Amino acid sequence: MNFEEVATNLLGKRKDELLKELYELSVEYRKEEELYSILIQLHNEKKIDVISAFEQIQRDNESYDFFMLQRMLERILPKINYDSVESVMKVLKRCMILVTGNMTSGLLVNPFIEFCKQNEKRIEEALGLSLKSLDKEIDFISIVLLAGLEVDFDKYYKQLEILIGDLDEIVQIGAVRVLGQFYSQSETRNIHKSFELLKKVIHETEKVNIKEVALKSLCKLLILDVKLEKEGIEIIEHVLFKPTDTMLYNIAELLFFYNKNLSWKLKDYLWSQLKAINPKHNDTIRNIDHALYSIAEENKSKAIQYLEKILLENLNGIGVENFCVFKSFLMKNEKSLNYLVTKWLLSKNITLCKYAYELIPSSENGRAISIDKRLALLLKKEDYLFLAKKSCGYLFTKPVSALSYLVSLLESSPFDKGIIDIEELIYDPILINYSGKTREYLYKIYSQSSAKVRNSLDRVTKRLDKYLNEIKSINYIAEFEPTSKQREAYSRYWNDSFSAKDLQPKGFFSSFFKTQVLLYGSSSINYIIHNPNEKGQRQEVFMHPQTISTELPRMSIINPIVLDYRLTMFRVEGCEK
């Protein structure tokens, strides 16, 4: 497709048709950059009006894909001419609002800065417009100031200083935000100048919103010049005397995005400030999670140290479950997982022991883990039984994990006397409760185990077989069965419990689909209509059975009280906190 062909497709189209055509071109046209050049040319020659077409863009329009068009705008905006800056700002705002909360929401900022930089008049006009109609949703002030600072630093820095003193909070925030954004490391003079300015703002303002933005800007300056760190930390301490959710979010964001740029001293300090995180603030937690992952790749022990600190200082609903990215790191690093589980089970701290459970994925019956070999070197005789009890108490509902850990204790323990106690725990509560998956696991590891472990396993499996055979030999006695009324009541109770689950909100994945219930049959027939004028295409989908099996601990039915009591005792025995 060449210039003429593209032009033929686009010329004379109405605004709504133009977007559709642009989209189709972006799909069909393989050479992306070439297409963008043609579009810029057509626009600048006023043959088409891209900006006015984007004024009506919608996110859920079936004729085009919003994100592809947004990308197109991102690429052509810096190079197009347009008389009305206001119109461009409107388009920008519309696009940004349509993707609020989405990672792509900031994609158009830099192209707009580039657009403004092409002509200083655009900057002046945009700044005027931003100050005239203050926008709470989009911070045009800082965007335009950034463009200005790049064009004429002194002029716009003065402007910035004036705006910081403005009476309106929106204006102040916009200006303060810019202070952390426009430097390269060579501009030490300007960095110091801005540092002083921020210091002044922080000490003088009473407004929390401004302090929140100032904190972020300040941290960015500290990244640029380590010399400022000592004084900067003192200022941050002052701000964080009363931390808000946004301040903690800002810190978490910095730790995530600037992990590699922050010094260890500053990192240590900022991590130590992540107390009292609001468990509902998912974005903050997500940023911490990613930051932990980045640190773990660099320095595992630091990551663990930070994680422990957060877990112990945020006892308000934040647990290991919240850090799935970091967990995925542990899944890939068996040694780290074993180290952390062993460390936490040994910690005598109930909170950390609970989190040891969360470290292991909840799928199936838990994955196999083992004692950390380095930590094992430091253990005394009684520590083995202590760890065995803790693993039973905390990992009980992930039986393969609990069992594998117990077996690893058997394997690594140099003390013969404690073996019987660990063996007893392998039998009861683990094997006696879960004789399915755990048995499979034992078969799997048997041949690789030492003679010492094999002897123990022989003894416990023999006991288990005896117990299971006795159960099997029990006669069916109708008199012991629950009455029909009880059965009905239980069935109702069970169904109600499930119905209640059905009413729960849809998950992320299921929200994409519409559920259809088939009352009869084993396949579903649908007619897919591609073109309204054509007959639909018949499609038959055969249903396949899906089963999930899970093993319930026997004693939760037979002997729940004692099971509960024993597990509780295993958990708390010997713990200090």
Partner 1 sequence: MKLIIKEYLSSLKERGELDILLPTLLSQMGLEVFSKPLSSGNRQYGVDVAVCGHIEGGEKTVYLFSIKSGDLGRKDWNSNSKQDMLPSLQDIINVYLAVHLPEQYKGLPVSICICCGGIIKEEIRIDVSAFEKTNTKDNIKFEEWTGDKISGYIEKYLLREELLPEGSQKLLRKSIAMLEEPETSYKYFKELITQIVNNVTAKDKSKLIALRQIYLAVGILFSWSRDDNYYESAYLSSELALLYAFEILKPFLVKNSKISKVMKEIFYSIIKLHFEINAEFIEKKVLSQANKLHGLSYMVRTNNSIDINLKLFDILGRISLMGIWGYWFIEMKREDKSFISKMETIITMLHHSIIEVIQNNPTLYMPYKDSQAIDIALAYLFLSSNKNNLMFLHDYFGTLINQIEFQLYARKDKYPCNIEDYSKLLHHSENDTQEYFESVTQGSILYPLISMISAKNGFDDIYEKIQILQKKYLKHCNFQIWYPDKNSEKHYYLNDELHGATLSNVAIDADKEEYLDQVFGECKHLSIFEEISSFKYGYWTIGLLASRHYRLPVPICLFNINE
Which tokens is 292 given? Answer: 């932990």
Among 237, 440, 556, 573, binds partner 1 (CB under 8 A): 556
Residue (243 or 553) nearer to partner 1, CB: 553
List C-alpha distances in Å: 228 to 50, 192, 193, 231.
46, 8, 12, 6
By beta-carbon proximity to partner 1, the closer residue of 119 and 556 is: 556
Residue 565 in contact with partner 1, rule: CB under 8 A: yes
Q: Is 241 in the site for partner 1 (CB under 8 A)?
A: no
Least separation in angstroms between residue 461's CB and partner 1 is 17
- The neighbour count for residue 30, using CB atoms within 10 Å, is 8
Q: According to the binding rule CB under 8 A, does residue 574 interact with partner 1?
A: no
432, amino acid identity: I
Residue 412 in contact with partner 1, rule: CB under 8 A = no
- For partner 1, which stretch binds (CB under 8 A), given 127-135, 174-182, 451-459, 477-485? 477-485
Query: By the 8 A CB rule, do 418 and 381 touch?
Result: yes
Task: Pick the binder of partner 1 from 30, 206, 557, 576 (CB under 8 A).
Answer: 557
Determine contact, residues 347/380, Cβ cutoff 8 Å: no
Residue with tokens 């010049």: 225
Show Cβ contacts of residue 24 under 8 Å, excluding neighbours closer than 6 positions.
9, 64
- 476 is a site residue for partner 1 (CB under 8 A): yes
Strand partners, 157: none
Backbone φ and ψ of 229, nearest 5°: -55, -50
* Least Cβ distance, residue 233 to partner 1 (angstroms): 44
Residues 271-310 as x/- pattern, contact with partner 1 by CB under 8 A: ----------------------------------------
Using CB under 8 A as the binding rule, whether residue 263 contacts partner 1 is answered as no
Q: How far is the CB of 567 from partner 1 (least distance, A)?
A: 11
Strand-pairing partners, residue 540, are: 525
Q: Is 79 helix (H, G, I), strand (E, B) or coil?
A: helix
Alpha-helical runs (H) found in 413-502 = 419-425, 432-433, 437-446, 451-472, 484-502
Task: Pick the closest to residue 422 from 283, 570, 277 (CA basis).
Answer: 570
Is residue 362 within the footprint of partner 1 (CB under 8 A)?
Answer: no
Q: Which is nearer to partner 1, 448 or 475 (CB)?
A: 475
- With CB under 8 A as the contact rule, the residue among 128, 279, 560, 574 that binds partner 1 is 560
In angstroms, give the least distance from the CB of 485 to partner 1: 6
The DSSP output letter for 158 is H
Q: Does 471 contact partner 1 by CB under 8 A? A: yes
SS (H, E, C) 330-368: HHHCHHHHHHHHHHHHHCCCHHHHHHHHHHCCCCCCCCC
To partner 1, the closest distance from the beta carbon of 481 in angstroms equals 6
Q: Which is nearer to partner 1, 216 or 566 (CB)?
A: 566
Q: How many helices and strands in the chain, by DSSP H and E?
A: 31, 2
Output 473 or 515, the one with its CB closest to partner 1.
473
Helix H or strand E segment including 414: none
CB of 403 to partner 1, least distance (A): 21
Stretch that binds partner 1, among 281-289, 348-356, 368-376, 466-474 (CB under 8 A): 466-474
Retrieve residue 111's tokens. Answer: 């192209």
Closest CA to 396 of 421, 423, 432: 432
Instruction: Annotate 17-56 with DSSP letters as a single string.
Output: HHHHHHHHHHHH-S-HHHHHHHHHHHHHTTSS-HHHHHTT
Closer of 257 and 427 to partner 1 (Cβ): 427
The stretch among 136-144, 267-275, 476-484, 512-520 that binds partner 1 (CB under 8 A) is 476-484
Element (H, E) at 130: helix 120-132
Residue 162 or residue 562: which is nearer to partner 1 going by CB?
562
CA distance 358 to 356: 5
| Residue whose CB is less far from partner 1, 58 or 491 | 491
Distance CA 401, CA 246 (A): 39
Footprint of partner 1 on 480-539 (CB under 8 A): 480-486, 489-490, 492-493
| Least distance CB 498 / partner 1 (angstroms) | 14
Q: Which of 533, 550, 561, 576 binds partner 1 (CB under 8 A)?
A: 561
451: contact with partner 1 by CB under 8 A: no
Smaller CB separation from partner 1, 455 or 486: 486
* DSSP 8-class letter at 60: S
Of the listed pieces 233-241, 404-412, 463-471, 531-539, which binds partner 1 according to CB under 8 A? 463-471
Helix, strand or coil, per DSSP, at residue 524? strand
Q: Does 477 bind partner 1 (CB under 8 A)?
A: yes
Asked whether position 564 contacts partner 1 by CB under 8 A, the answer is yes
| Comparison of 276 and 562: residue with beta carbon closer to partner 1 | 562
Binders of partner 1 among residues 55 to 94 (CB under 8 A) are none
Of the ranges 13-21, 104-112, 385-393, 558-566, which one interacts with partner 1 (CB under 8 A)? 558-566
* 538: phi then psi, degrees, rounded to nearest 5: -75, 135
Binding residues for partner 1 (CB under 8 A): 467, 470-471, 473-486, 489-490, 492-493, 552, 556-562, 564-565, 568
